Chain A
């Protein structure tokens, strides 16, 4: 349904539900094709509209969400393979590549360096230290919205 000025509010609501679903179900083998099906759109149309609404692709949002969680698991001492699977990634290679692109170091190096690092920090300090550096973080969760770097 279109509401004045060509803004399709019902489509925006379906995008919102898809984003909420990523926040909720990122640890399952969720992918863009499945999210697009749930939003009643083709994958290409879904990705384009999502990017227009949230300034990043659904794939980037999902991976950011997964890597936020993986960082928390690695800090708590989880192994890299364990963290990869726990956040819904099936390929260790693509997980490590995405992690390195977003965080700036490999998951194993991050684990070795950051393990236990945030213990004893206040909650705002933890959020500041651990938020990912992509321009937009997820809407809630382990990190607040990131600033541009």
Chain B
């Protein structure tokens, strides 16, 4: 039996602000862009990794108003995440992130003794992402 990750959902408050980050800075390709009932779902895949879909969706979509607002508050506070991405060029990835409106680098690159060099960033919605490169 083999089980592997096929989809990961990331909550974003504003799909228009998230798209430049995930598509242009991280370099993911948009596989689907679906609007329904006033909300929008963006599905992205990393080049060469079509087996894993990254789905961006809004906290309120498909939930009760109360739970949607609770998640939106956690997102705004920065309490969601972390999600880890790997890159083969950390500096170039961080340069692209720094050039993206609303995104911030919260930890500059450091060599971790478990074998990666990594940095921590916030996407424009407030999710904590760690970007790591093997070394």
Instruction: Say whether chain A's binding surface is mostly helix, strand, loop, or mixed.
Output: helix
Q: Is the CB of A141 within 8 A of B107?
A: yes
Q: Is the interface of B mostly helix, strand, loop or mixed?
A: mixed
Query: Closest approach, in angstroms, between the C-beta of B72 and any C-beta of chain A?
Result: 6
B78 → chain A closest CB, angstroms: 4
**Bound Cα distance from A10 to B73, whole angstroms:** 10
Contacts of B66 in A (CB 8 A): 5
| A13-B69 in contact given A23-B106, A24-B107 (Cβ < 8 Å) | no
> How many A-B Cβ pairs are below 8 Å?
48
| Tally of A interface residues using CB under 8 Å | 21
Q: Which of B46-54, B90-98, B120-128 contacts A (4 or more CB under 8 A)?
A: B120-128
User: How distant is B129 from chain A, measured CB to nearest CB, in Å?
Assistant: 11
Known: A5-B69, A9-B72, A123-B114. A53 touches B128 (CB 8 A): no
Q: With the chains together, A27 CA to B72 CA distance in Å?
A: 31
Contact B69 A16, beta carbon cutoff 8 Å: no
Given A3-B69, A7-B69, A123-B113, do A139 and B128 touch, yes or no (CB 8 Å)? yes
26 A-B pairs whose Cβ atoms sit less than 8 Å apart in the complex: A3-B69, A3-B72, A5-B66, A7-B69, A7-B72, A9-B13, A9-B72, A9-B76, A12-B76, A13-B126, A16-B76, A16-B122, A16-B126, A17-B104, A20-B106, A20-B122, A23-B106, A23-B107, A24-B107, A53-B77, A54-B77, A123-B113, A139-B78, A140-B106, A140-B120, A141-B107
What 12 new A-B contacts, CB under 8 Å, besides A7-B72, A16-B78?
Answer: A4-B69, A12-B76, A13-B76, A16-B77, A17-B104, A19-B78, A20-B78, A20-B104, A24-B107, A53-B77, A140-B106, A140-B107
